Amino acid sequence: SPPGPALPRGPPLSRRSPVAAMADSGGGARGPPCPGAAAALRRWEHLRRRAATVAPWARGLLAVAAGLGLFYVVLRVPLRLRDSLAAVAVFLSTLTPKFYFALTVTSSFISGLIFVFEWWHFRKYGTSFIEQVSVSHLRPLIGGTESSPPAPAAFSSGESETSRQGMPECKVWRNPLNLFRGAEYSRYMWVTGKEPLTYYDMNLSAQDHQNFFTCDTDALRPSDTVMQKAWRERNPQARIKAAHQALELNNDCATAYVLLAEEEATTIVDAEKYFKQALKAGEMIYRKSQNCHSQSPQHEAQLRRDTNVLVYVKRRLAMCARKLGRIREAVKMMRDLMKEFPLLSMLNIHENLLEALLELQAYADVQAVLAKYDDISLPKSAAICYTAALLKARAVSERFSPETASKRGLSTAEINAVEAIHRAVEFNPHVPKYLLEMKSLVLPPEHILKRGDSEAVAYAFFHLQHWKRIEGALNLLHCTWEGTFRMIPYPLEKGHLFYPYPSCTETADRELLPTFHEVSVYPQKELPFFIHFTAGLCSFSAMLALLTHQFPELMVVFAKA
Instruction: Tell me the pLDDT band of 364, cut-offs 50, 70 and 90.
Output: very high
Query: b/e map of 53-92 (b: 16 or more CB within 10 Å)?
Result: eeeeeeeeeeeeeeeeeeeeeeeeeeeeeeeeeeeeeeee
Predicted local distance difference test score (pLDDT) of residue 500: 65
pTM of the model: 0.65
Most confident of 258-267, 296-305, 404-413: 258-267
Residue 491: pLDDT over 70: no
Residue 146: pLDDT over 60: no
Instruction: Tell me the pLDDT band of 272, cut-offs 50, 70 and 90.
Output: very high
**327 contacts 350 by C-beta, under 8 angstroms:** no
Sign of CA dihedral 87, 92, 95, 98: positive
Predicted local distance difference test score (pLDDT) of residue 17: 45
Residue 119: pLDDT over 80: no
Residue 316: pLDDT over 50: yes
What residues form DSSP beta bridges with 303? none
As a whole number, the mean pLDDT across the chain is 77
Cα separation of 168 and 517, whole Å?
A: 25
Hey, where are the domains in the chain? 98-134, 176-369, 373-524, 529-560
**352 contacts 336 by C-beta, under 8 angstroms:** no
Instruction: Tell me the pLDDT band of 262, cut-offs 50, 70 and 90.
Output: very high
Residue 320: pLDDT over 90: yes
Choose which CATH entry (1.25.40, 2.60.40, 3.30.70, 1.10.287) describes domain 176-369.
1.25.40
Q: Supply the Cα-derived Rg of the chain in whole angstroms.
A: 39
From 170-174, 265-269, 361-365, 544-548, the region with the lowest mean pLDDT: 544-548
| pLDDT tens digit sequence for 422-473 | 888 888 889 999 999 988 999 999 999 988 899 999 999 999 999 999 888 8
Predicted local distance difference test score (pLDDT) of residue 273: 94
Cβ contacts of 258 within 8 Å, gap of 6 or more: 213, 274, 275, 278, 309, 312, 313, 316
**Cα–Cα nearest to 349, from 319, 391, 374:** 319
Cα separation of 338 and 111, whole Å?
A: 61
| Average pLDDT for 204-225 | 86
Residue 250: pLDDT over 70: yes
**274 contacts 257 by C-beta, under 8 angstroms:** yes
Q: DSSP per residue over 482-546, as a string? A: GGGGGTS-SS-SS-SSSSPPPS-HHHHHHHHS-TTS----SSPPPPPHHHHHHHHHHHHHHHHHH
| pLDDT tens digit sequence for 54-96 | 556 566 677 777 777 776 666 665 556 666 667 766 766 676 7
What residues form DSSP beta bridges with 447? 174
Predicted local distance difference test score (pLDDT) of residue 258: 93
Predicted local distance difference test score (pLDDT) of residue 315: 93
3-state DSSP assignment of residue 2? coil
**309 contacts 213 by C-beta, under 8 angstroms:** yes
Higher-scoring residue by pLDDT: 221, 376? 221
| pLDDT tens digit sequence for 74-84 | 666 555 666 66
